[in-house]
């Protein structure tokens, strides 16, 4: 049975974790070059594929003894906090360097399948070992509810992908990237500490 609280929690964590990611930037670029529906179809399919992989990996972690599982979960949350904090620092440097020039050609003569395949390929390759993939596996292990975690993660990733394609520049004017990354890192540190306490208590 689906757990709405788990879906909402996972959605929030994955959403803030993916916002500063380079795949969001890739979505923005694809959205400026091709019809957004075509680009989003490929991106959405790639995100769904990675969530299935991550949830499966997280479910396998639940076979470990509880104390060891909590220790691994804590380590992954803390690693995720470090990675997202560093991502924010890198993005601050990119912003200081100035905006990149982009090609404004809307279609480049490409058809639906070519654009969707391009979107799928870019995201599928870029997401391997990514923060949100690690976080999704971690949450699947923590909550023992792969379906709810999977739905929350997919919706979070799709929301970021769609925002990136339709209005990434506008969103970043409202929510500075450095603050998004700071909040996400603090939340993950808190979850990591919680898991450390659980590991000690057994």
131 in Cβ contact with 40 (< 8 Å): no
| Tokens 């104390």, located at residue | 67
Query: Nearest 5°: phi and psi at 68?
Result: -65, -40
Is residue 152 a contact partner of residue 47, using CB atoms and an 8 Å limit? no
Tokens at residue 77, please? Answer: 């949350």
- Alpha-carbon span 168 to 166, nearest angstrom: 6
User: What pLDDT does 106 receive?
Assistant: 47
Q: HSE on the CB side for 47, CA within 13 Å? A: 29
pLDDT per 10-residue tile (average), the chain, 202 residues: 90 83 67 79 92 87 70 69 64 53 46 84 75 84 89 93 72 62 69 74 68
pLDDT of residue 189: 78
pTM of the model: 0.63
């Amino acid at each position: 049975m689906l757990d709405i609280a788990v879906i909402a929690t996972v959605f929030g964590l994955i959403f803030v974790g993916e916002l500063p990611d380079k795949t969001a930037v890739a979505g923005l670029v694809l959205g400026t070059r091709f019809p957004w529906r075509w680009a989003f179809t490929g991106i959405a399919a790639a995100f769904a594929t990675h969530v299935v992989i991550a949830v499966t990996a997280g479910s396998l972690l639940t076979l470990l003894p509880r104390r060891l599982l909590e220790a691994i979960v804590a380590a992954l949350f803390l690693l995720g906090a470090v990675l997202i904090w560093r991502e924010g620092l890198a993005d601050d440097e990119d912003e200081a360097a100035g905006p990149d020039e982009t090609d404004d050609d809307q279609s480049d003569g490409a058809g639906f399948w070519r654009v969707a395949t391009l979107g799928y390929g870019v995201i599928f390759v870029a997401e391997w070992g990514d923060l949100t993939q690690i976080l999704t596996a971690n949450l699947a292990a923590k909550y023992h509810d792969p379906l709810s975690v999977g739905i929350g993660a997919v919706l979070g990733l799709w929301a970021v992908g769609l925002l990136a394609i339709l209005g990434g520049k506008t969103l970043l004017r409202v929510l500075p990237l450095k603050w998004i990354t700071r909040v996400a890192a603090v939340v993950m540190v808190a979850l990591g500490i919680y898991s450390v306490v659980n590991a000690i208590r057994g």
